[in-house]
Structure formats: C-alpha cells, structure tokens
Amino acid sequence: MSDFFDLEEDGRVLDAPRLAVAIAGGSAALFPTDTLPALASLPAAAGSLWALKGRPSQKPMILMGAEPEALFAALVLPVRPEWRSMAARCWPGAVTLVLPARGAIVAALQPQAPSSGPCLGLRIPACPGALALLQRTGPLATTSANRTGQPPCRLAATAAKAFPTLPVLAPLPWPAMEGEASTVIRWQSDDHWQVLRAGAVIPEGCRA
C-alpha cells in the first residue's frame, strides 16, 4: 500500500503549524513518532480518542510533549530528582515514565485510577516531525493509531485508513519507525522503577 494513500488529494495532510491549529480547535490527529504512529488530541479532548479507538476507559492515555518541564508541570506534584534523572537518560526516546499525578490532566487521561493511585505516563518522542508539532501544541494526549483489537499501524496510509476523518502530519512519507511500542516504567512507592511493559529499550536500574 502506498504511504501517500489518497491523503493529499482530500486535503488531510497538514504541516505542523496548520495541524496545530486543527488540534487547538478540538480535532484529533495522526502523526509519526519514533515507535508507532500516534493518535492525539488536546488533553481536554481526550475523550474523543477512546471513542475513535473503541478503547476501554480503564486504559489510560500517554501525555506526549516536546519539553520535560511542560510534562512535569502536568503532574501538579513536586518533581523528584530521580524522575528528572531518568527523564534526562531516556528522553527523547522510546521510554514512557509513569509518575504519580493529580489535577485536571490526570483526570482527563486516566478516568479510572488504578489501586496504586492516580498517575500519568509521560514521554518525549525522538522524532523531529512529532517534536515540531508538540512544540506548537504543548503536551498532547496520545495513544497508538489503531483501533482496539487491531494490529498497530506502521504507516501513514494504514493509520489514515483506520481513522478516515482525521488530519495527518506532513510531510509524507513519514520517517521509519521502530514498529514497537515504547517501554513503560513506573515509579513505585518504595522508590524504585518497575517495568510495566517491555519495549525495545529497558533503562538500567529497573525491575521486571
């Protein structure tokens, strides 16, 4: 399947400034990352992502951004040195940090808090196109660009076919991606990192 599909003909391919405007207006959108294509929206519009994917509400979204401080600010909690240290080691890159959180954004991205308490998954992707968009939008609620129960999309064409009404980040074709979801590690209450989902990269000092 061509990565260009028929996107350019129907006006769905937008550069970062125009796509940022569409997202600010409440639209969900599709863009590449270093791992898998992302389905994204403003945190306040994250409910649309569950509806688009058919995703169970107990599964949270990831907050993706371009700057560590913007992501840490979303926690609405004091930022521990260990969190900053791990972020400096792993970002930009294919590691999501799950950290304790409170406030409006965690309520929007995690409607059903786990027994261990409310938290946010944070990541900065190592993808220039994604970063250019995120610098304009600020942090976005994100999830992989596939419908629940379907294989992950790996190309703009397949992502756009799965979500035929959504705008897509230019330029096409998108850069090559790992094709594997990010590693997810969570900061535990007894002060260690635990691997919740193993991806291509496992940072040192994490427990299985």
pLDDT attached to residue 146 = 94
pLDDT attached to residue 150 = 92
Contact 40, 64 (CB under 8 A): yes
Contact 112, 19 (CB under 8 A): no
Give me the residues of the chain with pLDDT under 70, please.
1-10, 115
Domain-embedded: residue 182: no
> Side by side, which strands form the sheet with 183-187?
13-14, 168-169, 29-31, 38-41, 140-144, 62-64, 119-123, 95-100, 183-187, 193-197, 206-207
Q: Count structural domains, the chain.
A: 1
Of 58, 72, 196, 195, give the one whose Cα is nearest residue 122.
Answer: 72
The boundaries of the domain holding residue 136 are 13-177
Domain-embedded: residue 188: no
Q: In this structure, what CATH number is given to the domain that contains residue 152?
A: 3.90.870.10
Burial 34-64 (b: 16+ CB within 10 A, else e): bbbbbbbbbbebbebbbebbebeeeebbbbb
pLDDT attached to residue 7 = 65
Domain-embedded: residue 186: no
C-beta atoms surrounding 177 within 10 Å: 19
Q: Would the pTM count as exceeding 0.85?
A: yes
Domain-embedded: residue 107: yes
75 vs 146: CA distance, rounded Å: 27
Domain-embedded: residue 105: yes
SS3 22: helix
Domain-embedded: residue 169: yes
Burial 138-151 (b: 16+ CB within 10 A, else e): bbbbbbbbbeeeee
Domain-embedded: residue 7: no
β-strand 206-207 against 193-197: which pairing, if any?
A: parallel
Cα dihedral sign, 177-6-136-53: negative
